Amino acid sequence: MAIVKVFVGLDYHQDEVQVCVLDAAGKILCNRSVRNEAETIRLTAQRYGVVEAAALEACCGAANLAQELVDGGWSVSLAHPGFVARMKQNPDKTDFADAHLLADLLRVGYLPKVWLAPERLRRLRRLVRFRQQLVDQRRDVKLRVRALLRENRLRPPGDVSPWTRCWLAWLRNDAALQDDDHWMMNQHLEMLADLNLRIADIQKQLQQWANNDAVMQKLLSFSQVGLITAAMLRAEVGHFDRFRTGKQLSRFCGVTPRNASSGQRQADAGLIRAGNPDLRRVLIELAHRLINRFDDRWCGLATKLMRAGKKKNVVVAAVANRWLRWLYHQMKSVALAA
C-alpha cells in the first residue's frame, strides 16, 4: 500500500484551530476545526497520511503550539502573516480559506517562513519586550509632567537640570501649582518612581541571563555594548549562524538602505522597513556611542563619510550597518557553540 504524504495548514485561534490537509497534488482531504490541542491536531491530520510538513501563521501562542508539534515529530514552519496576506489575492477572510492557503503555499514551496525561536529565547524576548513597554510608559509619564509645567508656565529656579533629585524635589514641594495640578503632579511622580523600580528589577533579571549565557557574555565584551543592547540582540537575533551573510543580519535588523531605483533613476529611500523598531533604535544608539566616544575603527569610518558630504543621520546608520556585518563574523562561532 502506497504511503500518502500530506501537507497541513493550521489557522490558529485561542480555543480552536482550523486544520486543512492536502495531498501532494493539492487535493483537499480535510478542512475542519478542532480543539487547540497538539495531540488532537496530530490525530486529525495523520488520519489522512504521513505528514510531510505543517505550517501556521506566526501570532501570539502559535510558537508554543508549533514547538509541541515539533516535539511530536512534525516538521513545522511559522509563516510571515504580512506576506501571506499579500499573497492571498482575495478580499474574503475565512478560517477555511486561510488554512487552505497555508497548506497550499507549503506544498508548492512558496511559504514565507519566519524563524521558530527556541522556548528559552522566547522567554527572553518576552522579558526584553516587557522592559521596553515599561520604558515607553515612563517616557509618557515624563511627557505629561513636562506638559503640566508648560500649562502653568513654570520653570525651575537657577540652572537645575531636569530629572535630578533637586529638580524632582522642587516639583514635589516648591512648584507653584494649583491644588488639583499639584495632586496630579504627585501622581505622576509616584508612577515614575514605581516604573523606575520595576525597570531596575527587570534589569537584574537580564543580568542573570547574561551571567548564564555565552552569547550575551561575548556581546558584552565588545566596545560600547551594554546590557540592554546585548539582551536585545540575543532576544531578537537569537542564533547568528542562522544568517548566511552579515548583510542578511543587517537587513533583518533594519539598518540597511532601501533601494528605490527604476530605469535610469538610481536612488536610496532611507532604511528598509523591516525588523523590530526597538532593535533598530538600540543599534542606532550604539552607533552614536561608537562615533562620539572615539572608538578608532568606527569613528574613522564616520569621519570619512562626513568628509564625503554624507549627512549625520546617514553616517550613523552606515556605522550601525557596518558594525552588524562585522559582528556577524565575530559571533558565528559563538552561536554554534552556544
- Please, what is the Cα angle at 79 between 75 and 85, to 5 degrees? 150
Collapse the DSSP code of 125 into the 3-class scheme (helix H, G, I; strand E, B; otherwise coil) and give the result: helix
Smallest Cα–Cα separation from 268: which of 314, 212, 307, 328?
314
- Report the pLDDT value the prediction gives residue 174, as an integer from 0 to 100: 87
In the chain the first and final C-alpha atoms are separated, in Å, by 44
Query: What value does the mean pLDDT take over residues 121-144?
Result: 96
CB 72 within 8 A of CB 82: no
Query: What value does the mean pLDDT take over residues 241-269?
Result: 82
Query: What value does the mean pLDDT take over residues 116-140?
Result: 95
Smallest Cα–Cα separation from 55: which of 111, 97, 94, 96?
111
pTM: 0.86
Phi, psi of 105 (to 5 degrees): -60, -40
* Span 95-111, pLDDT tens digits: 999 999 999 999 999 99
What average pLDDT does the chain have? 90
Query: What value does the mean pLDDT take over residues 210-238?
Result: 94
More confident residue, 89 or 336: 89
* Span 137-182, pLDDT tens digits: 999 999 999 999 999 999 888 788 899 999 999 999 888 889 999 9
Sign of CA dihedral 237, 243, 246, 251: negative
| pLDDT exceeds 90 at position 45 | yes
Smallest Cα–Cα separation from 77: which of 49, 111, 125, 32?
111
Sign of CA dihedral 85, 91, 93, 94: negative
CB 215 within 8 A of CB 191: no
- Report the pLDDT value the prediction gives residue 1, as an integer from 0 to 100: 35
What percent helix, strand, coil does the chain show, rounded to 5? Answer: 60, 15, 25
Cα torsion at 237, 241, 245, 247 (round to 10°)? 10
- Report the pLDDT value the prediction gives residue 262, as an integer from 0 to 100: 65
Residue 289, number of CB atoms within 10 A of its CB: 15
What is the spatial distance between Cα 208 and Cα 78, in angstroms, rounded to a whole number? 30
Query: What value does the mean pLDDT take over residues 321-336?
Result: 86
- Report the pLDDT value the prediction gives residue 335, as an integer from 0 to 100: 59
| pLDDT exceeds 70 at position 338 | no
| pLDDT exceeds 70 at position 336 | no
pLDDT band at residue 88 under the 50/70/90 scheme: confident
Alpha helices in the chain (DSSP H): 38-46, 62-71, 81-88, 95-108, 119-151, 165-173, 179-211, 214-220, 227-237, 246-253, 277-292, 296-307, 312-337
Smallest Cα–Cα separation from 49: which of 2, 103, 99?
2
Residue found under cell 532611507: 270
Query: What value does the mean pLDDT take over residues 51-69?
Result: 93
Residue 194, number of CB atoms within 10 A of its CB: 14
Q: Cell numbers for 280, please give them.
A: 533598530
